[in-house]
Structure 1
């Protein structure tokens, strides 16, 4: 049962449920980092916490490849969401820039979220987590030019 409605979440195949949960996690990781709780994930997904534990042992159990595939979908949709938010602002939803450089802040938030995706597998990686996250973002956005707010590449 979901805490908000007191009703059971609609039936889904386990793989569909897993994908839905993974899609829900990335924005929460951007906002809360590794401190995101299963309760927050469940609320955002509209499911009970027990549902999470029926498809995952814990929030770090997702395989790296699956986490990165879901990140690609979320991150490639990010510029479209940002454009839509500018065209159709929702009161109270537009976050003010802390530093005055909202593009840099957006990049930093994406980098931080992607970095967190690599953390559970840090011991298996050949690169430090920080570099793996930067490389992942660079490859993801290489087709469309430089990522808005990203630091200039070394010369």
Structure 2
């Protein structure tokens, strides 16, 4: 007599929600709020009814997906984990890459879905500027501006380069942006007595 195959372990509600949220984000970017629960279920590899055992409604699911994507904490942890021992150029490139990925994802979702997430209760831009300044601080003597000011410039450039209708021309890659941030368009710091 052959043994019956072991039944798959049922997922906890949190695991089920995480699996569904992983599937819904790219669908939100593609379809916006018109995404159907059938599309979500197919993408997640589950029955459509499983969605409603994890979320009360489609709106609750979409709101949870937006909250998850707009949550600044995972991004903050990535920035905080950057190796301060890396050369400045590599650290700045890593920051540019992380910022552009974050901005691109948020803008794609906001464009497709609109604002559904909860408003944040603290100044996230300021918090990230302080964190970015900390990433730059080991090279304080090489910087021509305070780390906080350099962090502000990096955020602005990464933000602008992440929005296609702002760049209005060929895109920038992370290496080019890093070089522009570090060396500008002259390639070196202009002499202090330069004629204006």
Q: TM-score, structure 1 length as denominator?
A: 0.48
Bigger CA radius of gyration: 2
Q: TM-score, structure 2 length as denominator?
A: 0.40
